[in-house]
Structure 1
Amino acid sequence: MAELMTIARPYAEAVFALAKDEQKLADWSEQLANLAVIAGDDAMQAMLENPKYTADNVVSVFEGIMDSGLSAEGKNLLTAMAENKRLKALPEVADQFEDLRAAEEKRIRATVISARKPTVEQKKKLSAALNAKFDAEVEINYEVDESLIAGIKIVVGDWAIDGSALTQLNKLGAAIAQ
C-alpha cells in the first residue's frame, strides 16, 4: 500500500497542477474516478498483469471504455503510466488527487466507522462537531463495522480517534494481563 502511495504521488500532483491551472478540478475528479474504477476491475487487473498486452493495447481498452469521457491530457496520463507499468496505481492517484482538491477547496475528508448505521441526528451532530474542530467543511464517509461492538472510530488525515468498545475491551485485556 505504501509503495502504491509513493508511485501515485507524482502523478496525482502533476494532474492536480494541470487541473488547477486549467480550472478543471471537477472534470479531472470525474475522469480519474472513472479511470480508477476501470483499473480496479478484475478483468483489467488480469490484463495489466499479462505480459502479452503492450502499453498501447491497454491504453486502447481504457480509451474504448471511456469514449468521450477521456480528455487528451487523460490519454497522456494513461500512456505515461502504461509505459512505466504503473496503471495499478490509478485508484491511489484518484484518491490523492481528491485529497489535494479537498485541501485546495478548504474541505477535509473524514471517515467515520461505527458499529451500527448512524441516525440522521447523529450525523448532524458529528458533522457540526468535526466542522468546528477543523474549522472547515468536512466531508464524511460513513462505514459500518459490526466487529467494533459499539462506539465509533474517526479518521481525518493523520488524526484519528478510536472510541470503539472493541478497542476499550482490548486495552482492558492488556491491562489485566500485566
Structure 2
Amino acid sequence: MAELMTIARPYAEAIFAVAKEESKLDAWSETLTNLSAIVSDEAMQAFMANPEASDEQISDVFKAVLKGSQDKELDNLLSVMFENKRLQALTFVSELFENMKAEEEKKVRATVISARAATVEQKKKLSAALNAKFDAEVEINYEEDSSLIAGIKIIVGDWAIDGSALSQLNKLGAAIAQ
C-alpha cells in the first residue's frame, strides 16, 4: 500500500497543478473519484489481472467509461499510467488529490473515534477546537469503537492524538513491565 501511495504522489501533484491552473478542481475531483471506483471494482480488478485480457481491451474499457472524453490531460494521465502499468494506483491518486484540494480550499478532514457516540454539545466543542487548531474548516467523520473503553482518538492527516483509556492502560502496562 505504501508503495502505491509513493507511486501515486507525482501523478496527483501533476494533476492538481493542471486542475488548479485551469480552475477545474471540482471536475478533476469527480473524474478521479470515478476512475478510482472503476479500478476498485472487483470485476474490473479481475479483468485487469486476467492474462487473456489484452492491454488494448483494458484501455478500451476505460475509454468506454469516459465516453470519449475530450480532455487531453486526462487522456495523457491514463496513457502514462497504463503504459507504466500503474492503473492500480488511481485510488491513491484520487485520495492524494482530494487531500491537496482540501488544503487548497482551507478544509481539513478529521476522524474522531470514540468509545460511545458523541453528543451534539461534544461535537460542537470538538469542531470549534479543531477549526481553531488548524485555522481551517474541519470536516469531522465520527466513528465508534467500544474497545477504546473511554476517551477518544483524533486523526487529522499525519497528526493524531490518542486519548483513549485503552491507550493509557497500554502505556501503564508497558511502564510496569520495564
- Three-state SS of the structure 2 residue aligned to 1:153 is strand
Alpha-carbon distance, 1:70 to partner = 8.3
Aligned to 2:152: 152
After TM superposition, list the pairs within 5 Å mapping 1:61-100 onto structure 2: 61-67=61-67, 71-100=71-100
- Three-state SS of the structure 2 residue aligned to 1:122 is helix
Alpha-carbon distance, 1:121 to partner = 2.5
Alpha-carbon distance, 1:115 to partner = 2.3
Alignment gaps of 5+ in structure 1: none
TM-score normalised to the size of structure 1?
0.89
> Which segment drifts farther, 115-124 or 35-44?
115-124
- Three-state SS of the structure 2 residue aligned to 1:111 is strand
> Which segment drifts farther, 152-161 or 136-145?
136-145
Aligned to 2:136: 136
TM-score normalised to the size of structure 2?
0.89
- Three-state SS of the structure 2 residue aligned to 1:79 is helix
After TM superposition, list the pairs within 5 Å mapping 1:156-175 onto structure 2: 156-175=156-175
1:68-105 Cα distance to aligned partner (Å, 9 max, x none): 78845333322221211111111110110011111211
Indicate how the Cα distance of structure 1 residues 45 and 137 shifts in structure 2: closer, same or farther if over 3 A, else same: same
What letter matches 1:146 in structure 2? S
Aligned to 1:4: 4
> Which segment drifts farther, 105-114 or 154-163?
105-114
List structure 1 runs of 4+ shifted beyond 6 angstroms.
none
The answer on whether the counterparts of 1:31 and 1:69 sit within 8 Å (CA) in structure 2 is: no
What letter matches 2:127 in structure 1? S
What is the count of residue pairs matched by the alignment?
178
Alignment gaps of 5+ in structure 2: none
| Percent identity between the two aligned chains | 67
Indicate how the Cα distance of structure 1 residues 144 and 107 shifts in structure 2: closer, same or farther if over 3 A, else same: same
